[in-house]
Amino acid sequence: MSVRLGGNILVTGSNRGIGLELVKQLLDNTGQEDHIYACCREPEGAGAEVRLSTPPQVTIVQLDTSDEDSVTAAVQVVGERVTASGLNLLINNAAINKPASPALLSATSKADMMEVFETNVAGPFLLAKFHLLFCFCGQMSCRRSAIINMSTLVSSIEKCPQNFHIVQMYPYRTSKAALNMLTRCLAEDFRKHSILVTGVHPGWVITDMGGKEAPMTPQQSVLGMLSMMSSLSDKDSGKLVDWMGNQIPW
């Protein structure tokens, strides 16, 4: 399946890991008329590889998804740039996992819980709210009008008995389950605006978060996800799917 994405695309957490690979592959698969807003918490930081070679189709935007002022400022920058053509695709990719795995109950504080929820749930919530202001409304697809919320297999309540013994990760699991509900609510709410909202599990991927033992590279995961995202339509809105398009139960 080929990648058919384009227009104005915003990716959060694009300085490393899956977010960086999303920007790289989107660049390879989009044209001169398309534009990618590569959002990073610290564009000048040591890890911000995305800034090293910035072609004209990419604008780097400072965005800390846990900071409402930062979200507002980023939205203003992007809103002024996209003007009438609107934002086509928002990829809520940035996330944290605290404390370090396996994040047992005894090792987890309230502060961990709040910090993870601010980044993994409140950030995507705010960006979705703003997406409505600047989106291109017209046709439910990732090429025209969509929000992709990066979720995970371990968010699945039904699958919890199968994987809880491997990693507990209370804040991460519960935040991503909340993100799934956000996906479901937005899908209902935004249907009238023809905005597709889908949760995606990228697979277990070699990144700082996924670790070195993961079976898949970011390249493989993103190749699958972009191809899968190209084929999403209204019937996929409000669902959780993996990088190959297989549906995951809530």
Ligand X SMILES: NC(=O)c1ccc[n+]([C@@H]2O[C@H](COP(=O)([O-])OP(=O)(O)OC[C@H]3O[C@@H](n4cnc5c(N)ncnc54)[C@H](OP(=O)(O)O)[C@@H]3O)[C@@H](O)[C@H]2O)c1
Structure token digits, residue 201: 């599990």
Smallest gap, in angstroms, from Cβ of residue 215 to ligand X? 9
Determine the length of the chain: 250
Nearer Cβ to ligand X, position 35 or 201? 201
Give whichever of 88 and 155 is closer to ligand X, judged by the CB atom.
155
End-to-end CA distance of the chain: 26
Which residues contribute to the site for ligand X (CB under 6 A)?
A: 12-13, 15-19, 41-42, 47, 63-66, 93-96, 119, 150, 152, 201-202, 204-205, 207-210, 214
CB of 118 to ligand X, least distance (A): 8
H helix or E strand, kind and range, residue 228: helix 218-230
Amino acid at 235: K
Pick the closer one to ligand X by CB: 6 or 210: 210
DSSP state of 143: T
Residue 18 or 87 having the CB closest to ligand X: 18
**Among 6, 23, 19, CA closest to 87:** 6
> Shortest Cβ contact with ligand X: which residue?
17
Smallest distance from ligand X to CB 133, Å: 20
65: left (phi > 0), else alpha (psi -120 to 50), else beta?
Answer: alpha
